[in-house]
Amino acid sequence: MNRPIVSENEPITLVGGAPVEAELLVEGLHLAPKTVAADGGAKTLFDHGHSPLAVIGDLDSLAPSLQAQVPPERLHRIAEQDSTDFEKCLSRIEAPLVIGLGFLGGRVDHQMAVQSVLVRYAYQRCLLIGTRDVVCVVPPQFALDLPVGTRVSLFPMAPTKVTSQGLHWPTDGLEFSPNGQIGTSNRCSGKVVLAPENCSMLLILPRKFAQTVGSVLQSAPKWPAPL
């Protein structure tokens, strides 16, 4: 594991390089007022008058003029190219919850890479908020009160199983995998309770439930960190 660059007892908003509308930024900062920028995400924060606790990445997407605006002790260049800027950040933030903005939407390959990182660092509670949806790794035990009929999508990033309550189409006994059974476009019929067998299941919900998911996720059981 990497040593933390940012260590906080409060949630952190991590801003990436994909477009982030002003309303979405306000929504994220309501959940987590302190910010960290992943490389070019610093421009979004500067454009809206915010100064991040740290800017982390290979810095190939942040203009030198903007880099000059960051205090040297807050600018962290990590030159290796074996990881994405999102991974460089998520693996170096210590916080009870990370709210990720600017990682959904934009290039599809970037978004897929982000989802892969979410699973690899499942011990880090992280909620991605996009224009339409929110995405997170399902914790070992997760319970949400949602309006009946709410779209609930489950997508496996590796073979897994998940027991559930409150879904219109039950998942108990199903074997999920990326190239086999998936669980998208389900819907809730009551209080949703999920218990996956491992940390490979993503949960995708409508964006309007970001506050609800963020609050529950922050106090949910964590997947163990690697030794």
User: What pLDDT, on a 0 to 100 scale, did the predictor assign at position 79?
Assistant: 84
Q: How far is CA 223 from the centre of its chain?
A: 15
End position of a domain, from candidates 112, 131, 150: 131
- Per-residue pLDDT tens over the stretch 69-101: 899 999 999 988 788 999 999 999 999 999 999
Q: CA-CA distance, 93 to 126, in Å (whole number)?
A: 11
8 A C-beta contact, residue 23 and residue 129: no
Domain that holds residue 147: 142-196
At residue 151, the 3 state secondary structure works out as strand
- 227 pLDDT above the threshold of 80: no
- 171 pLDDT above the threshold of 80: yes
Q: CA-CA distance, 31 to 10, in Å (whole number)?
A: 10
Q: How large is the C-alpha radius of gyration of the chain?
A: 17
- % the chain with pLDDT above 90: 85
- Per-residue pLDDT tens over the stretch 127-155: 999 999 999 999 999 999 999 999 999 99
Residue 65 lies in a domain: yes
What is the DSSP annotation of 36-97? EEETTHHHHHHHTT---S-EEE--SSS-HHHHTTS-GGGEEE---SSS-HHHHHHTTEE-S-
8 A C-beta contact, residue 115 and residue 199: no
Note the residue count of the chain: 227
Instruction: Let me know whether 32 and 117 are in one domain.
Output: yes
Nearest one of 193, 200, 183 to 220, comparing CA atoms: 193
Rounded to an integer, the average pLDDT of 197-204 is 98
Residue carrying the six token digits 């999508």: 153
Instruction: Let me know whether 91 and 170 are in one domain.
Output: no
User: What pLDDT, on a 0 to 100 scale, did the predictor assign at position 2?
Assistant: 82
User: What pLDDT, on a 0 to 100 scale, did the predictor assign at position 106?
Assistant: 72
CATH number at residue 110: 3.40.50.10240
User: Alpha helix locations (H) across the chain?
Assistant: 22-31, 41-47, 64-67, 85-90, 108-120, 210-219
User: What pLDDT, on a 0 to 100 scale, did the predictor assign at position 211?
Assistant: 96
User: What pLDDT, on a 0 to 100 scale, did the predictor assign at position 192?
Assistant: 98
At residue 209, the 3 state secondary structure works out as helix
Report residue 193's pLDDT band, with 50, 70 and 90 as the boundaries. very high
Residue 209 lies in a domain: no
- 65 pLDDT above the threshold of 80: yes
- Per-residue pLDDT tens over the stretch 26-43: 999 999 999 999 999 999
β-pair partners for 26: none
Number of domains in the chain: 2
Phi, psi (degrees; rounded to nearest 5) at 64? -55, -35
Q: CA-CA distance, 181 to 184, in Å (whole number)?
A: 10
